[in-house]
Structure 1
Amino acid sequence: MTNSSNLKLALIGGGGVRTPLVIFGINESARLLGAEELALYDPDSERVSIMAELGRAIVAKEGGRLRIRVAASAEDAVADASFVLSSIRVGGIGSRAQDERTALTHGYPGQETTGPGGVAMGLRTVGPTLEYARLVEKRSPNAWFINFTNPAGLITQAISHYTGVRVIGICDTPEELFHRIAGALGVSSKRVRCDYLGLNHLGWVRRVLLDGVDVLGDLLADDAALDQLYHASLFDHELLRCLGMLPTEYLYFYYCRSRALTNQRAAGTTRGEEVSRLNDQLIADLANHLQAGNPNEALSLYTSYLNQRSGSYMKLEASAGSAFDKSNMLEEDPFRAATGYHRIALDVMKALRGLESQRLIVNVPNHGAIAEIADADIVEVPCTIANNSIQPEACGTLPEAVRGLVLAVKAYERAAIEAAVSGSTMLARKAMLLYPPIGEWEPTQGLLNDMMQHNPSLQYFHACSHDETT
């Protein structure tokens, strides 16, 4: 595909707090992409208006002609779009906080995409996402649907299985780990190539090639280097040496569940609850600054928010640290960070437009990349993306140390999608039974009852269930 003018992009979930980052990235590459308009849609009209105004301030500050428009409807947003980015949070950040509190109450770590919180998020998100995807299929059948929405692998699989849209799932977790690996080695990221495979939020680096030579063994032997690989002190070094691989940060909620639970209980809160308070304050302050005609102050506030949130990432679960501890705050320009969703989204779009071929870790149908996984199942693997095509790399077989976990989580994802589509409470309980972070039958009824009680988006399980008994 060659560059052309008048390219339209759409962002579903445009009221999200990361929307200004996405706007910055698109504006930065708008001329290269030929992008003229970004249409934002969100059911929360107040939030999306704030994010659109902040986005216009970014465009004005950085220079550019990207037009930011609040769409009247989802159909208006996606009509005739070349790329549709989806980043929705059904129920808002309050639902995340409640999911994590429910998990904690039942004796599980509270986390938005893994454990009981991930189950609840997946169940309530599949249906609305499929509605948006079908709308894209109807109004912009040639568009690429770029899925940010979590749990990204599960949601991408639902879209791929139940619609005909061209979908790709993205997550910044692997690229962030690669960036940190290069930093620990003290070299440019361009000299490092990581051999990676897995599922979204369930992946491992098997080799670290520095100028073509595998240095993973040296890295694993170096305590000081290992200390630099994660946002917080997550994994015991002997655990990493035992695996002989480097897991992404979300494996903490599989390998260190008891520690995560202990720290959340000690803190008396969850990440979701802290972020909910941060977000509420952010939105109120942004609205005040923008209404007063102070966009630069709003941008400064937003930058501080991003640095506070990023600086406190995983601190609570790893050491009972708080997002409100200002000592954790980063001092950097988050818009120009080397990694992040906005960077990966732009790299994907530029590659698909035929502008720059890229090797990126994305969520796509397996097509033989991992031997043990069905071709149609979504995996997270390195892909060569170029000129409207995505080619997964052949990764071979899963390492024995992780094979059972990966296959069990993939079985859970399939069951959870089927439960969400059918409204079957029995299938929802089956999904939790198959899911290693839960993995028992008896707790599933209480978990599901509490999920439905606190989640209006899950009430359809009462009305739509085809179970004879629950």
Structure 2
Amino acid sequence: MLQKQSILIAGGGSTFTPEIVLLLLERQADLPLKELKLYDNDAKRQAIVGEACALLVKERAPEVMFSYTTDPKEAFSNIDFVMAHIRVGKYAMREQDEKIPLKHGVVGQETCGPGGIAYGMRSIGGVVELIKYMEQYSPNAWMLNYSNPAAIVAEATRRLCPTSKVINICDMPIGIEENFAAILGLPSRKELDIRYYGLNHFGWWTSIRDQEGKDLMPEIQEYTKKHGYLSPQLASDPHLDASWRETFEMVKDVATLDPTTLPNTYLKYYFYPDRVVAHSNPHHTRANEVMEGREKRVFDECQRLVAQGHAKDTHFEIGAHASYIIDLARAIAYNTKERMLLIVENRGNISNFTWDAMVEIPCLLGANGYEPLHVGAIPTFQKGLMEQQVAVEKLTVDAWIEGSYLKLWQAITMSKTVPSADVAKAILDDLITANKEYWPALK
């Protein structure tokens, strides 16, 4: 019999929390639960989500202890895993991350370019705080961190918490792999044997095979030339926001830069920033789509369930985001040695790339953590792009640690999405004003 686990979801007021809770309850045969807690520093948001999740747990698994709290000691005591997905500044600050760069004619995106740098400067302190709480109250626990921007957060945890039991992950490649499976007519991405390398939101698939070893790349590449990554299922999804539909379709152009691989969708912001800006509405960005769409749907559903007093007819949807985090916890809890994409220190696994860069590569995962799989040398095109982007991430963390205006100006200037140092400085000065409550003071 598998040992039961005690799990804390940090960022309990997130719109993703109900689907994670639902899937945890559905997959107790794989990851049995003893206790499930939610933690957030926003009591109002968490209460809305927490009360709805309390109904889910009571109806589906009443033997599981459930609670939600804003008290770190109560939250982080006696747990096995922290599943962390926090957003410091919430969607109001995401809106600034997107709209300030666009005002200057630059890509406005929450994890790429100046917006991602701004978000990273807010996220570092919040994630490090969670790690310290975990180590104080449950020193044997693992943190599964998928707080964005994952690349900058991973670099910060590498430097600020080098001995901590933290695994940095991203669900975006997993979502894309589910699209691959759908394109191929397969039931799940777990039918695929993949090879991938890069940085977070900045990588390439080099091999996709089925379990018998058949090469599936040509079929996906041929589909991509016509449709991008917009699978038939996604194309008919009424909840797919317009910005994501455009992103999946635009892969057909991104992929032309290297026809031998398949790219991460986010590379469009680096390869075609002028086109992205031209198609962006500086007054209504992805943040507004989320607030009007997912944010409203999830909170309305939470309030509906609480008002009726039961969750038997819930409309919450479960996505790849939730599935991946549970697979990860299960691999550690029961030493399954599952192969997963993680964000880890390179240490020669990409043999011709920066030793201490945080790269996203396949790893074997078990009770003692992860074992990265060797990638080997990568082509000049990808290597050059990645070196530039790694420098952006490292300079951003330098700026946070040192309180350095210059380092942050350098980081924004170096981003491939920014045309000049003058534009970088103008964006930075506006971001400093917007983030005065969240960033360390810069000098």
What TM-score, normalized to structure 1? 0.83
CA drift at 1:406: 0.8
Describe how 1:64-463 pairs up with structure 2 within 5 A.
65-163=63-161, 164-188=163-187, 189-210=189-210, 211-222=212-223, 223-224=225-226, 226=228, 228=230, 232=245, 233-235=248-250, 237=252, 239-244=254-259, 245-265=261-281, 268-278=283-293, 281-282=296-297, 285-286=300-301, 288-290=303-305, 292-296=307-311, 299-300=314-315, 303=316, 334-335=317-318, 337=319, 340-354=320-334, 356-438=336-418, 440-458=420-438, 460-461=440-441
Q: Distance in 1 between matches of 2:365 and 2:61?
A: 29
Q: Is the 8 A contact 1:351 1:388 kept in 2?
A: no
Cα distance change of structure 1 residues 177 and 255 upon mapping to structure 2, 3 Å threshold? same
Shift of 1:419: 0.9
SS of 1:16's partner is: coil
For these two proteins, the number of residue pairs brought into alignment is: 425
2:24 alignment counterpart: 26
Stretches of 4+ moved more than 6 A in 1? none
SS in 1 for 2:420: coil
Question: Whole-Å Cα distance in 1 between the matches of residues 257 and 339 of structure 2?
Answer: 29
Q: Is this contact kept in 1: 2:409–2:424, CA < 8 A? A: yes
- The CA RMSD measured in Å over matched residues stands at 2.5
**In the aligned structure 2, how far is the partner of 1:236 from the partner of 1:139?**
45
- Report the equivalent of 1:314: none
TM-aligned CA distance change 1:256 to 1:395, over 3 Å: same
| Mean Cα deviation higher: 173-182 or 85-94 | 173-182
Give the partner amino acid of 2:376: G
Q: How far 1:290 moved relative to its partner? A: 4.7
Q: Which residue of 1 aligns with 2:238?
A: none
Task: Confirm or deny: 8 A CA contact 2:40 2:70 kept in the other structure.
Answer: no
Identity of aligned residues (%): 27
**1:412-446 residue CA offsets vs partner (Å, 9 max, x unmatched):** 11110111122211111111122222263212222
Task: Return the alpha-carbon distance in structure 1 between the equivalents of residues 44 and 313 of structure 2.
Answer: 16
In 2, are the aligned partners of 1:196 and 1:206 still within 8 Å (CA)?
yes
SS state at 1:214 partner: coil
Residue by residue over 1:127-161, the C-alpha shift from the partner in whole angstroms, topping out at 9 and shown as x without a partner, is 12112212222222221111110011221221122
CA deviation vs aligned residue, 1:371-396 (integer Å, no higher than 9, x gap): 23344432111111123331111111
Structure 1 residue 215: Cα displacement: 3.7
Cα 1:274–1:184 change in 2 (3 A) is: closer
Q: Secondary structure of 2:20's partner?
A: helix
Summarize the Cα distance change of 1:379–1:19 in structure 2 as closer, same or farther, 3 Å threshold.
same
Cα offset for 1:56?
2.1
Gaps of 5+ in 1: 304-333
* Structure 1 range deviating more: 397-406 or 71-80: 71-80
Decide whether the 8 Å contact of 1:112 with 1:121 is kept in 2: yes
Change (3 A) 1:227 1:281: closer
| 8 Å CA contact retained: 2:175, 2:321 | no
- Name 2:239's counterpart in structure 1: none
Superposition pairs of residues 31-46 of structure 1, within 5 angstroms: 32-46=30-44
Query: Which residue is 1:321 aligned to?
Result: none
- The answer to whether the Cα contact below 8 Å between 1:12 and 1:40 also exists between their aligned partners in 2 is yes
Per-residue displacement from partner, 1:196-216 (whole Å, max 9, x unpaired)? 111111111112223323342
CA displacement at 1:167 relative to structure 2: 1.1
User: SS where residue 94 of structure 1 aligns?
Assistant: helix
